[in-house]
Amino acid sequence: MTLVDLFRQLSLLVGLPAVLLAAAAAAVVVVARDWRLVIFAYAFLSTMLALLLSQLLPTEWALLQAVVGGLIAVMLFLSARQLRWRPAGPLSWEARWPQVASLSSFRALAVVLAAVTFWAVRDRVQLPRVDTLFRDAILWLSLLGLLGLALHEEPLHAGLALLTVLGAFELLLFALIQDRMLVGFMEGGQLLLGLAIAYLVVSRGLAFPDSAGQSDSSGRLQ
Amino acid sequence: MIAGPVALLALLFLACGLVYLLRRFETMAALLAAGVTAVLAYATWRLPLDTPVRLAGRPLWFGQQVVWAELTLQLTPASKALAVFLLALAAVSFVLAWRTYQGRTFFPFGLALVALWILVALVQPLTLAPLVIVLAAILGVFLIQAGKAGQTRGAWRQLLFPTLAVPFFLVASWYINQAPLNPDDRTPYRVAAWLLIAGFCLLLQPAPLHVAIPAVAGQAPPVVAAFLWIGGQSVALFLLQRFLVTYPWLSAALDSASWLLWLGVFTAVLGGVLTAVQRSLGGIAGYAGLYDYGVLLVAMGLHGTAGLPTATWLILTRTLALLTFAAGAAEIRHHMVADRLEQLRGAASRLPWSVAALAMGGLALAGMPLTAQFASRWALLQLVTENDPRWALFLLVGAAGVLIGTVRASQACFGRLSASPVEREPLSMVLIAAVLISAGVLLGLVPQLLTAPVAAVILPLSALGP
């Protein structure tokens, strides 16, 4: 069984289930603080996006989204592992990496408000060559991605929020243009973006005193 | 036959790899990077575009078109001018960075960055060019962070906005392709114009989207920050000009010149006013740079034929002003191990030439007499006054803010040195500062020196095609 065949086994999810699961994963990316949960949610979101893209593109091309999303998740996981917490660190939960500028309850409330906005405006949004299900997916993922960018300064969360926005955009772009080169550029670009985000995650995380990684007195990464 | 674009980009990327391997030998890496870019700048300037030449026994055609799938790369007279400018900027920046301790990754990544910026000027279709700008922004992350742990705000913000701009350009490209299918319907053009305007707002980052500029100034080494601003902003404005010339309906559908004028004036006023109240060298550099950028946007937005020459003139003079300021700020930061104004006391006694470079660079950014920017700013103010005298007044308010900020920064460097010993500036830095200051004063006294370079660029810029 090839990877593409394996991917096709998941075709049961294509359509509304994939949209709902992607929407939930995007909400987790914005709300959750735990890095493991956030990275897992992003990897899951990428898989759901790949399933949705398989309705617009040849399966092999759509599969790239899952592969790239998985690679980004691995890069971020390895970066975050370098910053893992000490078992008996003296710092409180709030003081540890990753630090976020708001409470989880506040972010959850913001997501609820985004949902209200979504229900209020969804019928007024018109996108070319996109059916209502995809329109809803694009709108919801864009809204939550932008919300994540507004709420987070921590590179891990903000970076994944940016990738969520780009994922939403891909649904629109590939509904309009089915071009092999463009698929390659978009996925390759996302991979490089993931690399830059992983670098920023390490740079930011090493500044925290409880991180396992060490920096010298000049702050230079070792 | 070797195609010019391939040769140029391949040499830059090869040099990038070589310099990366040599990065621990900073002098060698810096001189190699500066040498390669200087030689390439000279070759790009001298080699003809329309006829093949023989180089080391191999035929080379600089203007030859390279086609790969739907992508086309070609050096046009306008993109050649930009390439020469970027390569020369890189050569000067590498020398400055070598003497002002900007981080050793600057040399290899700077070469790759120049290659990507040149690629933006060469690539066709135009709507894919912002993707290359994002690649350059990704590379910029490593330059700004310079291997340091801690704040990531500057690196993140300079990456965020170009990335968000890409979707607008790509969707606009679809509308542009749809438009000829139904020539009577103007809707695709209108929608594409709005999308492109939104994309360019994110790409150009005028106020209130300016947040990356002061953040980069606060975080990145000063010469690196100046290099990123000069190169990145010039490339974004070049791309805007390419769009405006290639798609005339863009100007017609929306009054883009008016948008640029208003955004430029707002950016300049905000930058100038905020420069006056900053408490750190990085803050002053960031907001003075923002003011200068706003002035450049105003020049780009001016109606008529005078706007483009003035903008080109400003780009050349602001390069000298920003590099002079950055060289001074970098040396002061390095020796005083501080950025806040209250910690710079006594710098003038140990680093007189660096402080002089800082002051002259700041005065040039404010457009004061006897500096490189004076004549170009004066010309711009005259043009702006013809349109609306209130705009000129706003620009002068911004200039006053930059002047106050510069005076505060310079004043902070005087007084008695604190107890901790501060090493004197090296002779090489004295020479660099003297050359930069002299060049600024010379251009302030004889601005006609730039007439020929500006004239050489104007015609290709105003007629550049896709």
- Report, as an integer, the average pLDDT of B301-317: 85
Contacts of B148 in chain A (CB under 8 A): 203, 218-221
- Which contacts of A86-93 are long-range, i.e. CB under 8 A and separated by 24 or more positions? A86/A210, A86/A212, A89/A210, A90/A210, A91/A209, A91/A210
* Distance of alpha carbon A47 from alpha carbon A14, whole angstroms: 11
CA A4 to chain centre: 23
For tokens 């970098």, the residue is B330
* B422 confidence band (pLDDT: 50, 70, 90): confident
**ipTM value:** 0.92
- Write the residue in B135, B150, B163 that is nearest to A207 by C-beta: B150
Q: What is the reported pLDDT for B305? A: 66
- What average pLDDT is seen over chain A? 87
Q: pLDDT of B119-139, one tens digit each?
A: 999 998 898 999 999 999 999
Q: Return the amino acid letter for B248.
A: P
pTM: 0.93
Tell whether B455 is covered by a domain.
Answer: yes
Contact B70 A200 (CB under 8 A): no
* A27 confidence band (pLDDT: 50, 70, 90): very high
Contact A149 B160 (CB under 8 A): yes
Nearest CA-CA distance, residue B408 and chain A, Å: 28
- Report, as an integer, the average pLDDT of B328-336: 91
Q: pLDDT of B70-83, one tens digit each?
A: 899 999 998 999 99
Cβ-contact B301, B341 below 8 angstroms:
no
* Distance of alpha carbon B4 from alpha carbon B55, whole angstroms: 11
A133 pLDDT above the threshold of 90: yes
Contact B163 A166 (CB under 8 A): yes
* B456 confidence band (pLDDT: 50, 70, 90): confident
Tell whether B299 is covered by a domain.
Answer: yes
Show Cβ contacts of residue A42 under 8 Å, excluding neighbours closer than 6 positions.
A25, A29, A69, A72, A73, A76, A160, A163, A164
Contact B70 A181 (CB under 8 A): yes
DSSP letters, A203-221, are HHHTTSTTBSS-B-TT-BB
B455 pLDDT above the threshold of 90: no
Tell whether B177 is covered by a domain.
Answer: no
- Report, as an integer, the average pLDDT of B91-99: 94
Q: What is the reported pLDDT for A215? A: 44
Contact B145 A179 (CB under 8 A): no
A57 pLDDT above the threshold of 80: yes
Instruction: Please count the structural domains in chain B.
Output: 1
Q: What is the reported pLDDT for A217? A: 40
- The DSSP 8-state label assigned to residue B344 in this structure reads -
* Distance of alpha carbon B377 from alpha carbon B381, whole angstroms: 6
Query: To the nearest whole percent, how much of chain B has pLDDT over 90?
Result: 70
- Report, as an integer, the average pLDDT of B371-387: 92
Q: pLDDT of A73-117, one tens digit each?
A: 999 999 998 886 545 456 666 667 777 778 889 999 999 999 999
**Among positive and negative, which fits the CA dihedral A154, A156, A159, A163?**
negative
- Residue B92 or A220, more confident: B92
For tokens 């970076």, the residue is A159
A221 pLDDT above the threshold of 60: no
Show Cβ contacts of residue A150 under 8 Å, excluding neighbours closer than 6 positions.
none
- Report, as an integer, the average pLDDT of B243-251: 86
> For testing the chain A interface, which of B138, B195, B202, B339 should be mutated: the one with the most A CBs within 10 Å?
B138
The token duo for B106 is 């600057």
Of B366, B351, B421, B441, give the one whose Cα is nearest residue B397: B366
> For testing the chain A interface, which of B116, B166, B170 should be mutated: the one with the most A CBs within 10 Å?
B170
* Distance of alpha carbon A153 from alpha carbon A157, whole angstroms: 7
Interface subset of A 129-158, CB within 8 angstroms of B: 149, 153, 155, 158
Tell whether B349 is covered by a domain.
Answer: yes
The token duo for B237 is 């404005």
* Distance of alpha carbon B176 from alpha carbon A107, whole angstroms: 39
Q: pLDDT of B110-121, one tens digit each?
A: 999 999 999 999
Phi, psi of B148 (to 5 degrees): -95, 140
Contact A162 B160 (CB under 8 A): yes
How many Å is the maximal CA-CA distance in chain A? 56
Contact A204 B163 (CB under 8 A): no
* B423 confidence band (pLDDT: 50, 70, 90): confident
Give the residue numbers in B contacting A (CB under 8 Å), as ranges: 69-71, 128, 131, 134-135, 138, 141-142, 145, 147-153, 155-156, 159-160, 163-164, 166-167, 170-171, 173-174
Q: Return the amino acid letter for B144.
A: I
Q: What is the reported pLDDT for B369? A: 94
Sheet harboring B58-61: ordered strands across? B2-3, B58-61, B53-55
A214 pLDDT above the threshold of 60: no
- Report, as an integer, the average pLDDT of B292-304: 88
B363 pLDDT above the threshold of 70: yes
The token duo for A99 is 């630090």
Tell whether B326 is covered by a domain.
Answer: yes
Count of C-beta atoms within a 10 Å radius of residue B46: 10
Q: What is the reported pLDDT for B466? A: 44
R_g of chain B, CA atoms, integer Å: 22
Contact A203 B142 (CB under 8 A): no
Q: What is the reported pLDDT for A212? A: 44
Bond into A17 cis (ω within 30): no
Cβ-contact B213, B296 below 8 angstroms:
no
- Report, as an integer, the average pLDDT of A163-182: 95
- A101-118 b/e with 16+ CB inside 10 Å = b? eeeeeebeebbeebeeeb
The token duo for B108 is 């290899």
Interface subset of A 100-119, CB within 8 angstroms of B: none
* Distance of alpha carbon A85 from alpha carbon B182, whole angstroms: 61
Q: What is the reported pLDDT for B420? A: 74
> Which range has the worst mean pLDDT, A41-45, A165-169, B74-78, B167-171?
B74-78
* A213 confidence band (pLDDT: 50, 70, 90): very low
* Distance of alpha carbon B240 from alpha carbon B234, whole angstroms: 10
The token duo for B311 is 């903008």
**Domain of B427, in residue numbers:** 255-466
Tell whether B416 is covered by a domain.
Answer: yes
* Distance of alpha carbon B436 from alpha carbon B36, whole angstroms: 22
Q: What is the reported pLDDT for B40? A: 96
* Distance of alpha carbon A62 from alpha carbon A68, whole angstroms: 10
- What average pLDDT is seen over chain B? 91
Tell whether B107 is covered by a domain.
Answer: no
The token duo for B307 is 């706007």
Q: What is the reported pLDDT for A140? A: 97
Q: What is the reported pLDDT for B283? A: 94
> Which range has the worst mean pLDDT, B44-58, B167-181, B415-429?
B415-429
- Report, as an integer, the average pLDDT of A42-65: 94
Tell whether B328 is covered by a domain.
Answer: yes
Q: What is the reported pLDDT for B123? A: 94
For tokens 């100038």, the residue is B272
Q: What is the reported pLDDT for B454? A: 83
Q: What is the reported pLDDT for A7? A: 72
